[in-house]
């Protein structure tokens, strides 16, 4: 009986540790807000970067994402400056996936005026191939392009 009680305490401690780890992970993981998820229905509208009045809004960054490789997604999206950021699940956007020839996830595309400017594609290792600084530099370069 003494052994059973000890086993029960150890099991409860393991469960408590597991719950604490899950809570910590959820607090510190950066989730993309639901309004920043897009699909085939609104992909072109969002990629175009126009606001409701038809004015240029800004550079648009779209990440093609896959559930099976969510651990390698671009995680520093909230630090990006001077752009709108959207994420699209490749399962929800087969037409966009085909149009932009997405073969690996994550793939991140920088758009200006609806035109593809820069692409960062995961390799066979499925790792995101660029640093935050490289992505921000691509955004800054796209903003400067065509400026007088």
DSSP letter for each residue of 68-107: GGGGGS---GGG--SEEEEEEEGGG-HHHHHHTT--SSSE
DSSP 50: B
CA distance 110 to 23: 33
Q: Tens digit of pLDDT for each residue in 64-100?
A: 999 999 899 999 989 999 999 999 999 999 999 999 9
Global pTM exceeds 0.85: no
pLDDT at residue 106, rounded to an integer: 95
């Amino acid at each position: 009986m003494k052994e059973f009680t000890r086993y029960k305490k150890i099991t409860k401690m393991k469960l408590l540790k597991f719950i604490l780890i899950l809570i910590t992970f959820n607090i510190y993981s950066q989730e993309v807000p639901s309004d920043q998820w897009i699909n085939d229905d609104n992909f072109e509208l969002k990629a175009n970067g126009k606001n409701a009045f038809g004015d240029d809004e800004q550079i648009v960054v779209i990440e093609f994402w896959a559930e099976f490789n969510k651990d390698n997604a671009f995680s520093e999206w909230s630090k990006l400056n001077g752009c709108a950021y959207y994420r699209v699940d490749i399962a929800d956007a087969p037409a966009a996936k085909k149009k932009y020839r997405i073969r690996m996830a994550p793939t991140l595309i920088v758009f200006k005026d609806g035109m593809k400017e820069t692409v960062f594609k995961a390799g066979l290792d499925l790792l995101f191939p660029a640093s935050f600084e490289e992505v921000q530099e691509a955004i800054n370069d796209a903003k400067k392009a065509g400026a007088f």
